Amino acid sequence: MDEDKTTRVTVRNITDLARLAGVSPGTVSRALAGKSLVNTKTREKIEALAREHGFRPNQMASGLRRQKTGVIGVVIPLGHDSRQQISDSFFMTLLGHLADELTREGYDLMLRRVVPEDDADWLDRFIGSGMIDGVIVIGQSDQFDRIEDVADGYGPMVVWGNHTEGQRHCVVGTDNRLGGRLAAERLIAAGATRLAFLGDTTAMEFAARFAGAQDIASRMGLPPIITLPTHLSPDRASEEIAQHLAARASQIDGIFAATDTLAALCLTELRACGIAVPGDMKLAGFDDLPIARQTVPPLTTVRQDIAAGARGLVDLLLRRLAGEKTESLVLPPQLVVRATT
């Protein structure tokens, strides 16, 4: 008769299970958490029962009690440019790798996309929610100062972005300035002398890429690099690129695009204008996304090691979670020469 009851019971919590197993809730908790001191037989019985009833401990309750959630927040601040940074391939790919790394370390990932101008409080709000043990910020956008402010009072935060001398938040990112130098050197080696930078230089990472390119232009005694600002969403960017080309193409013979996405768009517009690449115009991108291999001609670009970036972010975050004070991690960019230079 006991069996009759047993099979019909729904197990909502650890106490129900304990009743079924004829032990106390504490023991069930210990058994299910894989804690040391539980009799093997007792443990097996409890595990069997749990499996049979498809029971798993409530993470919210566990989190509340233990004061840790097992969840890492990942937040993508969308700058001025807000919408449609959405599909920025680079960030999305980084996100995919982050998901893998965090999963492997036993953490869940809580994703938040925020528009800082609508919500000045975005970072504190996320951190203060009590839902996450730590936070990874993907991209500094135009929020450098806000992130700096938070860094003083909150340890478990790591940011993907650009490293600036003396900054207080822990950052992982490619050496953008060096990357910019590599790109410019290559463009010049391929014969370009009048360079342009394609992309919005208010974003720190892009500004550093531009600055690196300018370093080289200056050193070589070339005229200053002109900037061709664009938005990041493909639709607007295409249009803006077309306008830039119409106005400036005759003044330049080399373009350094802030990202491969922009470079690919630019290539399409150049083709539309009848400007030969690399004959009339050299072109270099940044990121080395899959698309860089598929453009016609294939794109010369500066590779960022996305997988290493994700590993770095997670590794540093875990160490900060453990109380360590970590330094920032700056990854080396790598020039990949293909056929547009």
294 forms part of the interface with a second copy (CB under 8 A): yes
Nearest distance from residue 226's CB to a second copy, in Å?
Answer: 25
66 forms part of the interface with DNA (CB under 7 A): yes
Q: How far apart are alpha carbons 341 and 325 in whole angstroms?
A: 43
> Of 64-72, 84-92, 217-225, 295-303, which part binds DNA (CB under 7 A)?
64-72
Candidates 6, 9, 12, 218; binder of DNA (CB under 7 A) is 12
Q: How far apart are alpha carbons 56 and 19 in whole angstroms?
A: 15
- Find all residues with CB under 8 Å of 259, minimum gap 6, and list them: 88, 90, 199, 232, 285, 286, 287
> How many C-beta neighbours within 10 Å does residue 72 have?
25
Candidates 6, 13, 243, 294; binder of DNA (CB under 7 A) is 13
Can you tell me whether residue 292 is helix, strand or coil? Answer: helix
- Find all residues with CB under 8 Å of 125, minimum gap 6, and list them: 119
> Rg for the chain (alpha carbons), in Å?
26
Candidates 57, 155, 297, 298; binder of DNA (CB under 7 A) is 57
Give the angle subtended at the CA of 170 by the CAs of 81 and 199, to the nearest 5°. 25
For tokens 């539309």, name the residue: 272
Size of the chain in residues? 341
Nearest distance from residue 47's CB to DNA, in Å?
Answer: 12
Q: Rule CB under 8 A: which of 91-110 touch a second copy?
A: 92-93, 95-97, 99-100, 103, 108-110
Amino acid of residue 146: R
Nearest distance from residue 154's CB to DNA, in Å?
Answer: 16
227 binds, among a second copy, DNA, none (CB under 5 to 8 A by kind): none
Can you tell me whether residue 194 is helix, strand or coil? Answer: coil
89 forms part of the interface with a second copy (CB under 8 A): yes
Nearest distance from residue 68's CB to DNA, in Å?
Answer: 9
Candidates 191, 224, 290, 332; binder of a second copy (CB under 8 A) is 290
For tokens 């047993």, name the residue: 6
> Of 62-70, 161-169, 201-209, 250-258, which part binds a second copy (CB under 8 A)?
62-70
> How many C-beta neighbours within 10 Å does residue 232 have?
24
Instruction: Provide the CA 327 distance to its chain's centre, in angstroms.
Output: 18
**For residues 150 and 127, is the Cβ–Cβ distance under 8 A?**
yes
66 binds, among DNA, a second copy, none (CB under 5 to 8 A by kind): DNA
27 forms part of the interface with DNA (CB under 7 A): yes
Candidates 1, 7, 10, 14; binder of DNA (CB under 7 A) is 14
Q: How far apart are alpha carbons 270 and 268 in whole angstroms?
A: 5
Q: Rule CB under 8 A: which of 108-147 touch a second copy?
A: 108-113, 124-125, 128-131
Q: How far apart are alpha carbons 97 and 261 in whole angstroms?
A: 19
Between 111 and 276, whose beta carbon lies closer to a second copy? Answer: 111
Candidates 64, 246, 247, 276; binder of a second copy (CB under 8 A) is 64
> Of 36-44, 197-205, 235-243, 321-329, which part binds DNA (CB under 7 A)?
36-44
9 forms part of the interface with a second copy (CB under 8 A): no
Give the angle subtended at the CA of 79 by the CAs of 75 and 85, to the nearest 5°. 75
> How many C-beta neighbours within 10 Å does residue 296 have?
11
Q: Which residues bind DNA (CB under 7 A)?
A: 12-15, 18, 22-27, 29-30, 32-33, 35, 37-39, 41-43, 57-58, 61-62, 64-67, 130
Residues that bind a second copy (CB under 8 A): 54-61, 63-64, 69, 71, 74, 86-87, 89, 92-93, 95-97, 99-100, 103, 108-113, 124-125, 128-131, 234, 264-265, 267-268, 271, 290-291, 293-296
